Amino acid sequence: MIFHIEILRQKNIASDPYRQRMTVEATDPKMTVATLLKALNADPELKDDSGNRVDEIKWECSCLQKKCGACAMRINGKPRLACDVKLGEFKKGEIVLEPLRKFPVIADLIVDRSVMLDNLKAITLWLEKEANHTKKGEDIAYEASRCLQCGCCLEVCPNYLSGDSFFSAAAFVPAARILSELPKKEQAQIIGNYKSHVYQGCGKSLSCRDICPAQIDIEQMLVNSNAVAVWKRYFK
Ligand code: SF4
Ligand code: SF4
Ligand code: FES
């Protein structure tokens, strides 16, 4: 099948973005966007639709198994993992690849997502002692630990703006784990930060719920974090 691929490209952080279109043939519908990008970069003769040589397309990947979150990008307008999207989905053969929009672009499809780690640091979201495991908290801790910090939830959150004080689902999902593992008497600092950086800004629209590539039960994470941090209840 013939695919028309459009990529929003940018040489570096300071240069202007431009769109490049290319037409390629791929026969395996199970091939992923990640494999396609690898194949494009491996072709030294690749030309765009205007006949120009296509420079190496910059993108990130590591696991290629939906486990690391590195390959998150906008695919036909939706934030997704390139290693999770098969070419068979594109019945019309049109594929548009763009970098995530809520992060600074480093080059082509690579963005700087360090703000997510900075946000976790700002909530003091870490354990200084061994985790306090309880039967009730274990399921929550496991579910929350599957977060890839890919940034897809921030991309669709209507309330999230990079650099703003609201940290969105990429913060309240890990918060659910730490709150489930931290003894009650040591939760005060995190709870204060949680209220100002998560609870007060979240409109509970749950746009983040359906986009998560790890299929984390985001609603349950939000309910449980709020239950502990705001309503002083135990995990459900
Ligand atoms: S909650 Fe889901 S979408 Fe958000 S950063 Fe974690 S894995 Fe990605
Ligand atoms: S529930 Fe809505 S406002 Fe809250 S983090 Fe998710 S998308 Fe953003
Ligand atoms: S490369 Fe790790 S999630 Fe895609």
**What pLDDT does 132 receive?**
85
3-state secondary structure of 166: coil
Alpha carbon of 153 to ligand 2 centroid (Å)? 8
Highest mean pLDDT of the ranges 131-135, 184-188, 194-198 = 194-198
Ligand 1, residue 216: give the atom nearest the CA. 2
pLDDT greater than 70 at residue 96: yes
Domains and CATH numbers, the chain: 2-111 (3.10.20.30), 114-229 (1.10.1060.10)
pLDDT greater than 80 at residue 232: no
Q: Phi/psi zone of residue 102: left (φ > 0), alpha (ψ -120 to 50 degrees), beta?
A: alpha
**What pLDDT does 213 receive?**
97
Alpha carbon of 166 to ligand 2 centroid (Å)? 10
pLDDT greater than 70 at residue 234: no
Q: Give ligand 3 pocket residues (Cβ under 6 A).
A: 61-64, 66-71, 81, 83
- pLDDT category at 70 given cuts 50, 70, 90 is very high
Would you give the DSSP letter of residue 68?
A: S
pLDDT greater than 60 at residue 236: no
* Residue 124 token pair: 């003091």
Q: Give ligand 2 pocket residues (Cβ under 6 A).
A: 157, 159-160, 168-169, 202-208
Mean pLDDT of 2-8: 98
Ligand 1, residue 211: give the atom nearest the CA. 3
d(CA 203, CA 205): 5
* Cα distances (angstroms) measured from residue 35 to each of 42, 78, 126, 232: 10, 19, 36, 47
The chain-wide mean pLDDT, for the chain, equals 94
**What pLDDT does 235 receive?**
55
Which residue has better confidence, 184 or 12? Answer: 12
**What pLDDT does 155 receive?**
97
- pLDDT category at 231 given cuts 50, 70, 90 is confident
Which residue has better confidence, 11 or 163? Answer: 11
Task: Say which range, 118-122, 129-133, 138-142, 213-217, has the weakest mean pLDDT.
Answer: 129-133
Which residue has better confidence, 47 or 229? Answer: 47
Strands (DSSP E) contained in the chain are 2-9, 18-25, 72-75, 78-81, 94-98, 105-107, 110-111
Look at ligand 2, atom 5, and give the residue with the nearest C-alpha.
168
Contact 73, 98 (CB under 8 A): yes
d(CA 2, CA 22): 10
Among all bound ligands, the one having the nearest atom to the CA of 175 is 1
For residue 178, give every residue at least 6 positions away whose Cβ sits within 8 Å of its Cβ, in sequence order, or none: 125, 126, 127, 190
pLDDT greater than 90 at residue 217: yes
**What pLDDT does 36 receive?**
97
Number of other residues whose CB lies within 10 A of the CB of residue 120: 18
